[in-house]
Homo-oligomer: A and B are copies of this chain.
């Protein structure tokens, strides 16, 4: 599971920071989370090909989280793409984008499909063989949603030498990977843990987009391997954070600490702070294992 921060800024870009966008890659799939203006430029600048990108998740409808969609979709059209694009978002987004898609992309060999979700209620909005995505209602000036990306438990790993030694037929391997013991033709029982090693622990990544400090999210994100939490402001700007329903770096770190996550990533910095060192200091004082994202930061989860 690899996370690439495409844009680490908030609504007002800076020379170094684009608006919010992240790419999550796992098991040969790509998921785009938010799509601020310039997302396609950051993908190109990071040398990322998007052939395995089919699903895009939009957290809320402030423009800095979706104004890059039309440009990205258009470029995918020019790249000869044929697979449909699935956009998961609040219902209003389809209304806002459909006229432009109809106008600009009518001759594309793929469709753009919108999958609406209710931002006020947590729900599983994506489910495939290896992953689910669950929405997490946030607390912002407009309805906003976080996303929990949760791997499904994978199979146990076969110990190839043991499989060969017992000459186990291929047709039984599926059951053994699922945990079954093996009985040899002469009736000897071989326990599963001599044939396999435990599955890789399923990984969980939580994306907490624009939000005021709210402990209501903790049950959803408890113990995740990696938590991204917006940190628009510093504690010195706490009044402004409260007024705009954003979080400070200290608040993001407090949530990470209370939710006992393994790692915290912060971003969405206000343009008034060019230097992110104060964000790092503030967050790490509460939660040491904090990554202070910049545009282009890559994180292995």
Contact = CB atoms under 8 A, between A and B. Distances in A.
A41 B37 CA distance: 9
A75 B44 contact: no
Contacts of A41: 13, 18, 37-38, 41
Contacts of A70: 37, 63, 67
Query: Which applies to chain A's interface (DSSP): helix, strand, loop or mixed?
Result: helix
B68 A37 contact: yes
A265 to B, nearest CB: 22
A272 to B, nearest CB: 12
A99 interface: yes
A108 to B, nearest CB: 12
A107 B61 CA distance: 15
A45 interface: yes
A61 B79 CA distance: 20
A12 B75 contact: yes
Contacts of A74: 11, 63-64, 67
A96 interface: yes
Interface in A55-95: 61-64, 67-68, 70-71, 74-75, 78-79, 92, 95
Nearest to A74: B63
A169 to B, nearest CB: 52
Contact of A96 (B13, B67, B103): B103
B92 A96 contact: no
Contact of A13 (B47, B63, B75, B100): B75
B103 A61 contact: yes
Given A96-B100, A103-B96, A71 B14 contact: no
Given A37-B37, A61-B104, A67-B70, 9 more contacts: A12-B75, A13-B75, A37-B70, A38-B38, A41-B41, A62-B104, A63-B70, A96-B100, A99-B99
15 contacts: A11-B75, A12-B75, A12-B79, A13-B41, A13-B44, A13-B75, A14-B44, A15-B44, A15-B45, A37-B38, A37-B41, A37-B68, A38-B38, A61-B104, A96-B100
